[in-house]
Amino acid sequence: MKSGRLPVSLIVLALATPALAQTLPKGDAAAGGEVFENQCAMCHVAEGGGQGPSLVGVFGRKAGAAPGFAYSPALAAANVTWDASNLDRYLENPQAAIPGAAMPFALTDAKARADVIAYLGTLK
């Protein structure tokens, strides 16, 4: 870096970071925990088993791949890895995001979705 020029990789990262930050929902994990308890916990649990799969470690996991749960064929065949963007799209309208998915509930409020996604990010 004697020339005083930044490496191209740093320039690309600096330019891309604000765009990426705008596309991912940011939420309040504590508020998301409350939304989860009130609207999601009837089927999903933060740990153990429930009517729906456990959501511990959901970030980075392939859709339909949590061990010990019988997924719908559509979700099991989906080529989706859960990240904030995919979770946001799925929670807003599961049937539109993955047609044939068995989840009957949609979380249409954008702030509540962002908060739940932030909460899910704490479940490791």
Residue 89 covered by a domain:
yes
Residue 8 covered by a domain:
no
- The confidence band for 9, taking pLDDT boundaries of 50, 70 and 90, is very low
Instruction: Please say whether the beta carbons of 49 and 68 come within 8 A.
Output: yes
- The confidence band for 114, taking pLDDT boundaries of 50, 70 and 90, is very high
Residue 69 covered by a domain:
yes
The whole-number pLDDT of residue 54 equals 87
Residue 13 covered by a domain:
no
Give the residue-averaged pLDDT of 51-57.
87
Residue 106 covered by a domain:
yes
Number of domains in the chain: 1
Q: Where residue 70 sits, what CATH number does that domain have? A: 1.10.760.10
Q: Which amino acid is at 33?
A: G
The whole-number pLDDT of residue 10 equals 37
Instruction: State whether residue 81 is helix, strand or coil.
Output: strand
| DSSP-derived secondary structure for 66-97 | -TT----HHHHH---B--HHHHHHHHH-HHHH
> What are φ and ψ of residue 32, in 5° steps?
-65, -35
pTM to 2 decimals? 0.77
Give the domain range for residue 71. Answer: 25-120
| Cα 15 to Cα 23: distance, rounded to the nearest angstrom | 14
Residue 4 covered by a domain:
no
Give the residue-averaged pLDDT of 21-42.
82
| Cα 10 to Cα 19: distance, rounded to the nearest angstrom | 15
The whole-number pLDDT of residue 25 equals 55
Give the residue-averaged pLDDT of 39-44.
89
Residue 17 covered by a domain:
no
- The confidence band for 51, taking pLDDT boundaries of 50, 70 and 90, is confident
Report CA-CA distances (Å) from 34 to 17, 77, 78. Answer: 30, 31, 29
Residues in the chain: 124
- The confidence band for 4, taking pLDDT boundaries of 50, 70 and 90, is low
